[in-house]
Structure 1
Amino acid sequence: MAQQGKKGRWGPWALAGALLLAGGAGAQTRTVNVGLQAGGTLSWVTYAIGYFGIDRDLGLKVNARTYASKDATRVALRSGDTQVVVDDFLEVTLLRSRGFPVTAVYPFSLLTGGVIVPAASDIRTVADLKGKTIGATSLTDKTLLLLRAYARAKAGFDPQTAAQVASVPSPTMDQFMGRGEIQAALPFWHHGARMVSTGKYRQLISTGDLLRGLGLKPNVPLLYLVARNDTDPETLRLFVKAVLLAEERMKQDGGYWDAMLKEGLYNLPDRAQLPALRTQWAAGLPKGWSAADLNNTLLLTRRMIEVAGPDVVGLNRLDTRAFDTRFRP
């Protein structure tokens, strides 16, 4: 009797409307499975999507899972365990050539960072790198390939043969440089920002200046959101929109960065380095996604292949069909 009385107070139309609203909200929610590389910055963004309630506002459920390495995210992408990951502009072509049904749907990060040297070093120009030992994460590191192209064009030598290139993990480059084992370093952008912010190191040349020196645009995307081709297109558009909304909020909200660090998504030993980290992160955000951006990437790839050869770069040409500009919000 009590239930009937309660139902009567709501009224049959109000109750039906409430049920319809609840069912509609559930039906509108879209789910996307996102693969995160341990230590990668996509985890910052997926965390921000939930932190700011963007997923709730858009009716999007983001299932994020962290994998130990980039190779592991590629395996997960191929198996279907995940639908979206972040990978670089060369790798998306390589993935497709290996039978991975994937497409780059939106740029995630520009080619940023540069060459770092000790603040007191007598290395003043790229030409001074001749005969020095340079620390790089790998021989296929995009900044190293770009430096090789620039040095050959502007200084008449290839650092790969006229200098020594040592394989050094990015987080330890400051230690190697402090001991004098390397005289220059090409760290990941966030490690470079931290190194420069200490005052013990300076940037010899930025990737933007390297690109400009080669007659290329400085805003070339390096990393992309790469998705399986069988992912629902509307869900992808919604996820891209969520990423862009999250990045805008991240630029302005200091509380988010405190929460992100507390969550353990990034190891920042000295909190005084946070402003430099935020500035460098924001500088690496793409401003849009168009055929012109893809053409800049194509031109850069051609230059890298000319300098380093297809064996080092890993391909003979960039497959432009691997990139799709239709997923702009």
Structure 2
Amino acid sequence: MRGWIRNMGLVAVMSGIWMGLSAFSPPPKPIKLALQEGGTASWEAAAMHELKLDESNRIKLVIRKVADSKAGQVALQSGEVDVILSDFVWTSLQRNQGADFTFVPHSLTVGGLMAMPDGKVKSVADLKGLTLSAAGGPVDKSYVILQAFYNTKTGGDLTKDVTVTFGAPPLVNEQLTGGMADASLNFWHFNARALVAGAVQIISVQDMLKELGVARTPPLLGWVFSEKFAADKPDVIKNYLDASFQTKQALLTDDALWDKIRPVMNAPDDKLFIALRDGYRAGIVTSYTDADIDAAKQAYALLAKFGGADLTGQKPDLSEGTFWAGYRK
């Protein structure tokens, strides 16, 4: 009996010590993110919260919803947020103009060229004399890569050979499926919706790059933040990046997790849900090495050649420091 009482007393003491330590454990540190309304980055944020990886990595996500990528860039430039999702081309251009923004890979997936199965477009060469509806604008990265690919396949100039209109992603899909455009160039998650609606993919941007000599798919999208923020709060940014990669790994393998975040995906149809899930998984970044930087440099040279100063500025090479040296995976 006395032994039992001693053991219970020990348990009580240990419990008190644990509660005391818990009371003095540091609170999670906030990190302010700008995420596009309806964008796929919000899926990762939802999964991270579901798995409590933000808590276990001692961070608290403070999310500001923005209308588009440009609004996110403005929010970062003004200091309203700490981190945005953008591309390494914009990051390099900003560095060339004096900013200290830097980039850590997030996704490999961008988009691709789509057409209807009973249409005239079966390959990129078939675009000549036809109509193309493209998301973004004349200096969108996917559009510039398509120009380079078209040129290598036909020797022609896409901007002269093809009637191109630009629009918002939902409108681009409507023009394709409604017969108002012979082909479309859209972001991957809108292409997934087009596939469910009956369209077919002619070629992905990743495969265009491979045929253009960029063997390793570069991480076109990534988390962008200032070097000053990373220097001032190194634990916050590194803990966030750890949580991000941990969440990616879970999304890669855990089907049940996808069921839990489905409400934020705008995918009421099962076929669309699976297409979005599988498309997202295909672009998940699982590592961050010097090989990613080399691939980005190759892609950047192509973009500079075909996109010109409007896209990459006056310097044809990726700016030093575009990819953050303070983190590897």
* TM-score bin, normalised by smaller chain: 0.7 to 0.9
Measured in 1, the distance between the counterparts of 2:119 and 2:325 equals 44
Measure, in 2, the Cα distance between the counterparts of 1:193 and 1:218: 23
Instruction: Report what 2:328 is aligned to.
Output: 328
Query: Could you report, residue by residue, the CA deviation over 1:194-232 in whole angstroms, capped at 9, with x for unpaired residues?
Result: 21233x211111222211211112411111111122221
Equivalent position SS for 2:221: strand
Does residue 304 of the first structure (1) align with residue 303 of the second (2)?
yes
Between the aligned partners of 2:323 and 2:166, the Cα distance in structure 1 is 31
Give the unaligned 5+ runs of structure 2: 1-8
| CA–CA distance in structure 2, aligned partners of residues 315 and 276 of structure 1 | 40
Identity percentage of aligned residues: 28
1:280 aligns with 2:300: no
Matched residue type, 1:17:
I
Shift of 1:73: 1.9
State the distance in 1 between where 2:269 and 2:325 align: 39
How far off is 1:273 after superposition? 1.1
Number of the residue aligned with 1:127: 125
Confirm or deny that 1:89 pairs with 2:88: yes
Q: What TM-score comes out, normalization by structure 1 length?
A: 0.88
- Whether the aligned pair in 1 keeps the contact of 2:170 and 2:190 (CA below 8 Å) is yes
User: Is the CA contact 2:88–2:322 (under 8 Å) kept in the aligned structure 1?
Assistant: no
Q: Distance in 1 between matches of 2:311 and 2:251?
A: 36
Q: Is the 1:77–1:85 Cα contact (8 Å) retained in structure 2?
A: yes
Report the CA distance between 1:294 and its aligned residue.
1.0
**SS at 1:25 equivalent:** coil
Q: Which residue number corresponds to residue 146 of structure 1?
A: 145
Q: 1:140-177 CA deviation, whole Å, 9 max, x = no partner?
A: 12111111101111211121111111112112223212
Matched, 1:171 2:207: no
1:209/1:218 contact within 8 Å kept:
no
Q: Can you give the 5+ residue segments of structure 1 that lack an aligned partner in the other structure?
A: 1-8
Q: Deviations over 1:69-112 (max 9, x none)?
A: 323222322333211111111111223344443211x2111143
- CA shift at 1:308, angstroms? 3.0
Shift of 1:16: 6.4
Aligned-pair Cα RMSD in Å: 2.3
* TM-score normalised to structure 2 length: 0.88
Question: Which of these residues, 210, 213, 216, is aligned with residue 215 of structure 1?
Answer: 213
Alpha-carbon distance change, 11 to 149 in structure 1, aligned in 2, over 3 angstroms: closer
**Residue type of the alignment partner of 1:326:** G
Partners of 1:133 and 1:182 within 8 A in 2: yes
Aligned to 1:292: 291
Query: Partner of 2:252 in structure 1?
Result: 251
Structure 1 equivalent of residue 200 of structure 2: 202
User: Closer, same or farther in 2 for the Cα pair 1:100/1:235, shift >3 Å?
Assistant: same
Q: Partner of 1:6 in structure 2? A: none
- The residue number in structure 2 matching 1:54 is 53
Contact 1:103 1:324 in 2 (8 A): yes
Cα distance in 2 between the residues matched to 1:294 and 1:164: 35
Contact 2:120 2:182 in 1 (8 A): no
**Number of matched pairs:** 316
Q: Within the alignment, does 1:261 sit opposite 2:259 as a pair? A: no
User: Hey, what's the Cα distance between the residues in 1 that align with 2:109 and 2:42?
Assistant: 19
CA distance in 2, matches of 1:195, 1:11: 61
- Distance in 2 between residues matched to 1:77 and 1:306, nearest whole Å: 28
Query: What is the CA-CA distance between 1:315 and the residue it aligns to?
Result: 4.8
In structure 2, the partner of 1:3 is none
Partner of 2:6: none
